[in-house]
Amino acid sequence: MTSPLLSVDGLSKHFPVESSDWLASKQTLRAVDGVSFTLGSRETLGLVGESGCGKSTTGRLILRLIEPTAGTVRFDGQDLATIPKEDLRRLRRSMQIIFQDPQASLNPRHRVEDLILEPLYAQGEAPSAELTRYAGDLLEKVGLSRRHLSRFPHEFSGGQRQRIGIARAIAPKPRLIICDEAVSALDVSVQAQVINLLQDLQDELGMSYLFIGHDLAVVRHVADTMAVMYLGRIVEMAPKDALYRQPMHPYTQALLGSVPVSHPSRRRDRKRLEGEIPSPLNPPSGCHFHPRCRFAQSVCKLEAPALRTVAPGQQAACHFAEQIAAATP
């Protein structure tokens, strides 16, 4: 039994919130609150949730772009917090990220060739004719032309810039790529092209993806396993089919119910989720979801449910997951 590629345990990030009123009590923004999951080779874990759920922060914590407040991240068995800094730096070769905003993710002053090879230069490799050739190969792999190597980012469309970002991410032959809303800013037809590209690359190069997104249909299409986050916590985690066919957490059910239908004939009078998403600065006590949950009981307000196995292969953070599942048709 080989250890998983990525193992996250109890990951938390609390931001102290400064207030200009120094008499006011210090508030903490619990952006990520005790997140745990594992990811194996060649797998894709989809991380979904709405605003304030902490999915993007989770991605950055894993890459250690932000320092966690608590919890461990193990990559290839190594605890990223305890390994020597130089080792961490070299390990970064294997972990890359693709960003949401095609505009901000590429340095406007660098040419495409330098942009793509940056992960290699950062690791100490020197420019060479061979690397230039490699950069050209990467561009072709993502569907652009070698001629584009000497151009600047602003000469490309959003979809093309995203492809350049992908080329940069695969340049150091990583084992893990965090896709942080990588397709959210693209038009539907371009999004489809990029999604197919990401899948093709995974088939060819064998890396794992942590695919972060807010569009359930997109994430479900790409992922093997899905994790639903709400206000900093994972509320449900299951293989994508199981999640869709039998969501065990009331929030997941509500989320699936809110996704726009795929055909007008499926319009139905669905029970919509009421209320607003609470602010992560002031999350409800106990189970964060209890104010909006149809099935809430008094224990839900007092005790935060742990993420536990509620069905084969499925985990949910709800005190009454099994009862709810049994009662719902």
Partner 1 sequence: MSDLTHAAQPSRLSLALASIRHWLRRLAANRSFLLGAILFGSICVLTLLTPLITSVDPNALSVRNRFKPPSDQYLLGTDNLGRDMLSRVLNGARLSLSIGFAVVALNAVFGVFLGAIAGYYRRLDDLLMRLADALMAFPAVLLAIGIAAALGPSAATAIIALAVVYIPRTARVVRASIMVARELDYVQAARAAGARDGRILWHHILPNCLAPLIVQLSFVFAYAVLSEAVLSFLGLSAPPTQPSWGVLIAEGRTYMREAAWLTVIPGIAIAVTVLGLNLLGDGLRDVLDPRMKVEQ
Partner 2 sequence: MTAAPLLSVRDLTVSFGGRVTAVRDASFDVRPGELLGVVGESGSGKSITALAVMGLLPPTASVTGSILFDGQDLLVMPRSRLRKLRGREIGMIFQEPMTSLNPVFTIGDQITEAILVHERMSRKAAWDRATELLEKVGIPAPRRRLQDYPHQLSGGMRQRVMIAIALSSSPKLLIADEPTTALDVTIQAQLLDLLNQLREDFGTAILLITHNMGVMAEVADRVVVMYASRIVEQSGIFDLFDRPQHPYTEGLLGSTPELDVDAARLRTIVGTMPNPSELPPGCLFAPRCPKVVDACLAAQPALVPVAPDQRAACILAPGLIESTP
End-to-end CA distance of the chain: 38
Using CB under 8 A, which residues numbered 35 to 94 contact partner 2? 50-51
Both tokens of 268, joined, read: 């139905």
Nearest to 62 by CA among 123, 121, 4, 1: 4
Q: Determine if 106 is a binding residue for partner 1 (CB under 8 A).
A: yes
User: Is the Cβ of residue 3 or residue 258 nearer to partner 2 in the bound state?
Assistant: 258
Pairwise CA distance, residues 213 & 100, whole Å: 10
Binding partner of 122, given partner 2, partner 1, none, CB within 5-8 angstroms per partner class: partner 1
* 3-state SS, residue 14: strand
User: Is the Cβ of residue 146 or residue 301 nearer to partner 1 in the bound state?
Assistant: 146
Out of 14, 110, 221, 301, the residue judged to bind partner 2 by CB under 8 A? 221
Residues 47, 224 contacting (CB under 8 angstroms): no
Pairwise CA distance, residues 203 & 170, whole Å: 13
Q: Helices marked H in the chain — which ranges?
A: 55-62, 85-91, 112-122, 129-141, 158-170, 188-205, 216-222, 240-245, 250-258, 298-302, 321-327
Binding partner of 199, given partner 2, partner 1, none, CB within 5-8 angstroms per partner class: partner 2
Binding partner of 257, given partner 2, partner 1, none, CB within 5-8 angstroms per partner class: partner 2
Out of 256, 295, 301, 311, the residue judged to bind partner 2 by CB under 8 A? 256
Number of H helices, E strands in the chain: 11, 12
Contact characters 109-148, partner 2, x per CB under 8 A: ----------------------------------------
Q: Determine if 76 is a binding residue for partner 1 (CB under 8 A).
A: no
Q: Which residues lie near partner 2 (CB under 8 A)?
A: 50-51, 157, 159, 187-193, 195-196, 199, 214-218, 220-221, 241, 244, 254-267, 270, 272-274, 276-277
